Amino acid sequence: MKLSHPSTTITSFIFFIFLTLPSSITSQICQRSCNRIPLNFPFGSDPGCGDPRFHQSVTCNQDKLTFTTHTGSYPITNIDYTKQVLYISDPSMSTCSCTQPSKGFSLNYDAPFTFQDDNIFALLDCSTSSSNGSLYSSDNSKLSLCDNQGAPICSYLYSCRAISFINLPIATCCVYTPVDLGPAFEMDLQKLQCSSYSGFYSFNGRESDPNSWKYGIALKYKFNVNNEFPSSCFNCERSNGVCGYYGAYNSFICNCPNGLNTTNDCYFGSPYSYGSRLIASGHSGTWLFYCLVWLLVSVHL
């Protein structure tokens, strides 16, 4: 019986181990910012980065961070991770500097977002009743979304030069705040018989000066049903990693600065961390591979 040379046996074994190594050694780079806006969990730059529930809504393409719904794609202007609020702008929105037709804005029904309570929307150039100025829908039923207390806001908006060019009475303006409408909210301006809308999330301390208001839309997000930040992601980010996911079941993975992924954190390879040496469990296959390569070299020598 002819025996194989030891180096041949070890080579074959290493080749087998290499083929069966877990995905923890696959390389993937997740950007930490997009257009100077930091990208932290639950948002990510590419598929496999962040939380998969948010990837369809928030994407980074050509260094442009955008929010997408069935009504269009909108630039993201800022993300407040402390308050868990995402701010977007709508280029078709009317402001003090520009008035233009718009189809409106809506959230996808399954999107993990709701409207921030501070949002205020004013529908402009709407069909009204000649008797009391109430806004009607296409089926002639009164819209309960109109806030009768919003008349001052309409007056301030119509003091804007751009909006005043509409040259219509203030009664065609309807103000409302979508506090509890959630992701089922639909602003279909055609159905509402309005030609445009204006939205803002802050008076910026100057309620009577619409030129100073913060125009745009503020969206609230939650990590999960209980709004708890995942502990696995906390450990990953603490080790300078980026939280992500992989596989058919969107399993958690930590993307490390060196391009390797682990199922825990990025302390693998760091001499010390918080006074103790840590090795991430996700790199056990990588460690074994390097040991076997060293063993093969030693045998040849």
Per residue in 109-153, pLDDT (tens digit) is 888 998 888 888 888 888 765 334 444 444 444 445 566 556 688
Residues 127, 129, 134: CA angle, nearest 5 degrees? 85
Euclidean distance between CA atoms 70 and 72, whole angstroms: 6
Unique residue bearing structure tokens 């619409």: 210
User: How does the average pLDDT of the chain come out, rounded?
Assistant: 76
Question: What confidence category does residue 297 fall into, taking pLDDT thresholds of 50, 70 and 90?
Answer: very low
Contact 42, 50 (CB under 8 A): yes
Q: Taking phi first (over 0 means left), then psi (-120 to 50 degrees means alpha), and beta for anything else, what does residue 251 get?
A: beta
More confidently predicted of 287 and 34: 34
What pLDDT sits at residue 260?
81
Q: Tell me: the pLDDT tens digits for 150-192?
A: 668 888 988 888 887 766 667 788 887 664 444 456 788 887 7
Write out the E strands in 18-141. 33-34, 37-38, 58-61, 64-69, 72-80, 85-88, 113-115, 120-126
Peptide bond into 42 cis (omega under 30): yes
> pTM for this structure?
0.74
Q: Please report the pLDDT score of residue 206 as a whole number.
A: 92
Q: Report domain extents, the chain.
A: 6-29+230-300, 89-221
The pLDDT of residue 21: 42
Residue 103: both structure tokens together: 């189809």
184, 189, 69: which is closest to 122 by C-alpha? 189
